[in-house]
Amino acid sequence: MKVKLRYSHEAASKPVLAEIILKTGLLINIIEAKLTPKEGEMVIDIATQGQALKRALEYLRAAGLEVTELRSLVEVDRERCISCGACISPCPSRAIRFDESLDIEIDERRCIGCGICISACPRKAIQLI
């Protein structure tokens, strides 16, 4: 599950991520981070689901972070997409494939938000969200 974290003023000084990793033993992958001493934004991937995930998110919220759950990092504009498949094989994490009706689907659990599919798409149909 990917979540976007927003650090407020005070929370920025606390090592929240380190604490949550220590306490829960969860695997957390930092995908993107924009940090200044005062505030910041971070996209992380928490490698868990269900109750454990819920607890982790609660913990983050309690620490004063603004938490948004990310459905996916990229989004396909179905109006523009022509189901060509040019985005599929360039995806380094194999997150894109054809479904039965030959439309593409992006596996949000695999996507790392690298953006290669965005430039690979001849129809400019993929966007970061």
The partner in contact with residue 10, picked from other proteins, ligand SF4, none with C-beta cut-offs of 5 to 8 angstroms by kind, is none
Angle at 115 between CA 112 and CA 120, to 5 degrees: 130
Task: State the number of binding residues for ligand SF4 (CB under 6 A).
Answer: 27
Using CB under 8 A as the binding rule, whether residue 56 contacts other proteins is answered as no
Give start and end residues of each alpha helix (H) in 9-125: 16-24, 50-62, 116-120
Using CB under 6 A as the binding rule, whether residue 123 contacts ligand SF4 is answered as yes
* Residue 48 or 83 with smaller CB distance to ligand SF4: 83
Nearest to 92 by CA among 69, 110, 78: 110
Q: Which conformational region is residue 107 in: left (phi greater than 0), alpha (psi within -120 to 50 degrees), or beta?
A: beta
Using CB under 6 A as the binding rule, whether residue 43 contacts ligand SF4 is answered as no
Report the run of H or E that residue 115 belongs to, with start and end: none
Using CB under 8 A as the binding rule, whether residue 115 contacts other proteins is answered as no
Kindly list the residues in this chain that would bind other proteins in the complex (CB under 8 A): 82-92, 94, 97-98, 101-103, 116, 119-120, 122-124
